[in-house]
Amino acid sequence: MLDLLRFAIALLPLAAYANVLGLLRLRSCPTVLSGAMDLILLGFAVIGLIAIGPIELFFPRAAYSLLGGWVWIILIALYLFVLMLLALNTTPKLVVYGLDHSQLREQVCDMLQKEEIRSEWLGDLLELPELGVRACLEQAGRGVSQIHAAGKQQNLTGWFTLERLLVDKLASARIRQTPQAILWLNISFVLFGIAAILIANDLPRLQQAMVSIFEGG
């Protein structure tokens, strides 16, 4: 049987993630996130679902009998450690919110010309010999595009330089607010509302669970 209190708590990170996506699309200029940061945001969004799913399925009962509710803190810390490890080892990538593929390519070309960085294009494949970067531009959703590494031979310092130059270039760009911004914000408000109602209906049990955790029992 579905535990509505746990389900409500699991909805909170999802609601926060939807809110962040909406706010990013409300900005008047594009937003550049590294692939690692984008993965971390997604990891935080699903942390609640993982807590009531896989973690609950493989919950260490023996450890719970010794540590009580604190075992949840340890499990969440372990999840965050694994998430950070995955983020640090992810393939170099830049995610741009607010620009379509063609718009991003235009901005990148303008940036490379202004900075006098030699570039070679083969379709959507971009090679920057001076930076040691070989990347591919592609659409990642409506109003979202990305530049991801193509091949294993990549210069991480070159990627950091590319990210900094792209952030500086897009800071002066202006975009229109998209309908997706309102959609994501509405989704976040609905999720927050559902979670708030479910938590309010079972508030005494939540308070009891918090007391049990911080009192060690």
pLDDT of residue 1: 45
pLDDT of residue 38: 92
Strand blocks (E) in 22-177 = 31-34, 93-97, 120-122, 125-128, 133-141, 144-149
Q: Which residues are CB-neighbours of 141 under 8 A, at least 6 positions away?
A: none
pLDDT of residue 178: 74
**Phi, psi values for residue 99, rounded to 5°:** -130, 135
Query: Does domain 96-173 correspond to CATH entry 3.30.310.80?
Result: yes
Radius of gyration of the chain (CA): 22
Could you tell me what percentage of the chain is helix, strand and coil, using 3-state DSSP and rounding each to the nearest 5?
A: 60, 15, 25
Q: What is the pLDDT of residues 35-62, one digit of tens each?
A: 999 999 999 999 888 877 776 666 677 7
Beta bridge partners of 32: 96
Listed as ranges, residues in the chain with pLDDT below 70 are 1-2, 55-59, 63-69, 206-207, 209-217
In one-letter notation, the amino acid at residue 91 is T
Retrieve residue 169's tokens. Answer: 């270039």
Name the percent of the chain lying above pLDDT 70: 87
Domain map of the chain by residue range?
1-90+177-217, 96-173
- H or E element at residue 158: helix 156-170
SS3 91: coil
Retrieve residue 200's tokens. Answer: 């309010």
pLDDT of residue 212: 60
Q: How far apart are CA 102 and CA 94, in angstroms?
A: 15
pLDDT of residue 152: 80
Q: How far apart are CA 205 and CA 192, in angstroms?
A: 19
Among 198, 142, 181, CA closest to 19: 181
